[in-house]
Structure 1
Amino acid sequence: MNSKRQILKLSLLISMFSLFTACSSDDSKTQNNINYETKILGTWNLISHISSNSITETRTTIVEIGSDYNYTIEFTNNPKFINTNGNYNVNIKETNNQNQTINFNEVINSNANQQEGFHIGEWSINNGKLITRVYDIEPNEPGSYELTTEIVELTDNRLVLKTNNSASSSNNYTVTGNTTLIYER
């Protein structure tokens, strides 16, 4: 009788352990997906925009540094859409193949009627990367493309996004470099 009881206890213990590890493994996989998609939701304030690009064919380098930030990005869930609002300056320094440099400013100005910024429109997350589309007027217009952005850091208060700018290359030119955007709540 004592032996049957020990076997029953051991079987119960093994079953509970198997159930626990199976649930815990599934939960961690689900948690990673939910973690990004739920943590990114809400409104973020832009605090830094830094970009450095090179265009191979023209041997041009472009450095962008943001300033005067009054710009927010909001990730909504249903639908998964990015809303931007406000403005900021982008100070651009462009150097050509003859080492001539021009400096100019671009203002990113976004509101409910006109969305501007690095990330706009529908969004998704795949393997820790933010997926959006780049376009001027319509997401499927000629020249638009899917943009994959690495989520470098995502905490309750900080979001760091880094994009490999080669996605903006075309048949006519090759772009290398990165853009890093930092947001806080």
Structure 2
Amino acid sequence: MKYLKICLLTLLLVACSKDDATSNLSLDEQLVGKWTMTNYYDDTFFVEYQNGVIEKIVPEETNYAIEFTDNPKEIKTIGFLRYSREEYEIVDGEKVITGPVGTNFMDGDDGEGYHTGTWKIENGKLITTGFNQIGPDEFEEFSIISTIQLKGNVLTLTLDNAQFGSHLTGEIIIEYKRQ
């Protein structure tokens, strides 16, 4: 019995020391590595037209992942995100599905996604910067800001849709699990 108590105490101490070591790392250091998407939810409301779109991950058809690298600080995407898409209107304070229900996708192997390009942490937020091609030899820089919630091996990134234009409200919530 005494041997069992010592083993359990040792196991508890090792588990606690591992958690403490992770919490001593900066947020930048904790993000470095590969993360597999476990959830995608986008509720975008178009203020001018008074309608919205809800997009949700189709888990059985998704194998999307991102990788935070440190030198250089870049985010790489791989895999495929399939999501369902449905349109809605607000009727008596409730969301009522009004449009077609379908699916769409993001192809991480082609660099598609909200979190691509270079990254930095500023005031506890993730800022990613990339470029859109607007002409044959012309590119426009853009940045995306996400709030970060990191609990153990689960990373939740939340984007306020208003950053994409004053005509939008709602948020995008993306969850990842460390590989």
Q: What's the TM-score once normalised by structure 2's chain length?
A: 0.73
Identity %: 27
The structure 1 residue matched to 2:81, chosen from 82, 88, 106, is 88
Q: Secondary structure at the match of 1:38?
A: helix
1:84 and 1:66 map into 2 onto residues whose CA distance is 16
Q: Secondary structure at the match of 1:79?
A: coil
| Runs (5+) with no aligned partner, structure 2 | 1-22
Q: Secondary structure at the match of 2:158?
A: strand
- Amino acid aligned to 2:44: N
Give the C-alpha shift of residue 145 in structure 1: 2.9
| Runs (5+) with no aligned partner, structure 1 | 1-30
2:51 and 2:76 map into 1 onto residues whose CA distance is 32
Q: Secondary structure at the match of 1:78?
A: coil
Preserved CA contact (<8 Å) 1:48 1:181: yes
Q: Are 1:119 and 2:115 an aligned pair?
A: yes
Partner of residue 103, structure 1: 101
Partner of residue 37, structure 2: 46
1:45 and 1:56 map into 2 onto residues whose CA distance is 33
Q: Secondary structure at the match of 1:39?
A: helix
Partner of residue 71, structure 2: 78
Preserved CA contact (<8 Å) 1:151 1:159: yes
- Amino acid aligned to 1:75: F
Give the C-alpha shift of residue 102 in structure 1: 1.7
1:137 and 1:153 map into 2 onto residues whose CA distance is 33
Q: How many pairs were matched up?
A: 146
Give the C-alpha shift of residue 154 in structure 1: 4.4
Give the C-alpha shift of residue 128 in structure 1: 1.0
Higher relative strand content: 2
Give the C-alpha shift of residue 135 in structure 1: 4.8
1:96 and 1:145 map into 2 onto residues whose CA distance is 30
Q: Are 1:35 and 2:20 an aligned pair?
A: no
CA RMSD of aligned residues (A): 2.4
2:90 and 2:30 map into 1 onto residues whose CA distance is 43
2:74 and 2:148 map into 1 onto residues whose CA distance is 17
Partner of residue 184, structure 1: 177
* Alpha-carbon displacement from aligned partner over 1:87-145 (angstroms, at most 9, x marks no partner): 0201111236897312221111122xx2011210010001110001365448x835x53
Q: Are 1:153 and 2:144 an aligned pair?
A: no
- Amino acid aligned to 1:51: D
Determine which structure has more spread, i.e. the larger CA radius of gyration: 1
